[in-house]
Amino acid sequence: MKRLALILLMFAPAAEAAPTLALPPQAARTVEESRTVGSYPLPVGPWTATGIETLMTEGEITQTAWRIPDENVTTMGLLATLRDQLRAEGFEVIFECDTDYCGGFDFRFGTPVLAEPDMHVDLGDFRFLSARRGTGPSPDYVSLLVSRSSSGGFVQMTRVGPALTEPAELVKAAAPAQPEVLRLPGELDGMGRMVLDGLAFPPGTANLAEDRFASIETLAGWLKAHPEARVALLGHTDAVGPLATNVTLSRARAEAVLERLVTAYGVDRAQLSADGLGYLSPRASNDTPEGRAANRRVEAMITSTR
């Protein structure tokens, strides 16, 4: 069984043991890149119109990615497990966000991410965390980016700090039980998200037909039964046409669904947000009519349960 290298080491007195984190036993390291000396803009806030708030960190930089081939792993559960382990090793969380609060597309492309396919980021389902250990002249900094594909999870860890004499070893161990996650009806792959099937928009428009759609009615009933929940409506398109046009169209369609939920079903607007990803998160090939049709959709995704 291959051992995985973990990129977290202490910078304090040598007598203190090097920290270790445990990923699920099936995790496999896909790539690792290191620089002896460099700088890294560590995100410490979400993306805004002026960019991502960052803290410029300096030292030895190592970025490592792992893939976890488990269809049932969730970004929420995976990050919660790693966050708890970081805290146990003396790290203080500086900033944490999920997809929408991070800034979605803009956050993802505004921070360094290892290349596909070694590190995959689903623009509709990712989470980020930055943490620090130590307050002296040479603290350790760590960031975690967690996402998933249809077949498993991905973790990217960036470590910045004093030069390491040798890497700590990641001990393979079964992941601790994941926290209970509120599920949407019709969930996909256990990720707390569902496709709103059967919606009808005239081609190239965001004019949602006046029909009664079973998927919207189901979602409305679920939202009213769970007033503490917050859900993001994410519009998607096929790959025909320029990205900017498709992002605008997909966002407008998600907003049309939001308005229908509020005006026709009395859902609290505060429970909902809407955004568009254009063709950046397909669920099928755009090379066939059937695939393009599958990619034109609006999804609902839980962003908070309290």
Q: 135: domain CATH number? A: 3.40.1000
Domain range enclosing 285 = 193-304
The pair of structure tokens assigned to 248 is 């605008």
Give domain status of residue 180, yes or no.
no
pLDDT of residue 172: 40
Residue 100 and residue 235 in one domain: no
Residue 159 and residue 15 in one domain: yes
Residue 163 and residue 258 in one domain: no
Residue 134 and residue 272 in one domain: no
Give domain status of residue 158, yes or no.
yes
Pair 253, 212: CB distance under 8 Å: no
pLDDT of residue 181: 57
Give domain status of residue 12, yes or no.
yes
**What torsion do the CA atoms of 7, 179, 254, 47 make, to the nearest 10 degrees?**
-30
Task: Return the closest-CA partner of residue 120 out of 231, 240, 254, 280.
Answer: 280
Task: Return the closest-CA partner of residue 25 out of 177, 172, 178, 176.
Answer: 172
Residue 162 and residue 212 in one domain: no
pLDDT of residue 182: 67
Give domain status of residue 185, yes or no.
no
The pair of structure tokens assigned to 112 is 């360094």
Give domain status of residue 262, yes or no.
yes
Residue 153 and residue 85 in one domain: yes
pLDDT of residue 36: 84
Residue 162 and residue 224 in one domain: no
Give domain status of residue 69, yes or no.
yes
Residue 268 and residue 159 in one domain: no
Give domain status of residue 99, yes or no.
yes
**Cα distance between the two ends of the chain:** 40
Whole-structure pTM value: 0.53
Alpha carbon separation from 20 to 5, 84, 88, 170, 173 (Å, rounded): 10, 12, 10, 6, 11
Q: Where are the alpha helices (DSSP H) in the chain?
A: 75-88, 99-102, 104-108, 214-225, 243-265, 289-295
Residue 21 and residue 156 in one domain: yes
Residue 121 and residue 197 in one domain: no
Residue 103 and residue 15 in one domain: yes
**What is the total count of domains within the chain?**
2
pLDDT of residue 165: 64
Give domain status of residue 178, yes or no.
no
Query: Mean pLDDT per 10-residue run, the chain (306 residues)?
Result: 35 38 82 89 95 93 90 84 87 93 94 93 94 82 93 91 61 45 63 84 90 90 89 93 94 96 94 93 89 92 79
Residue 54 and residue 143 in one domain: yes
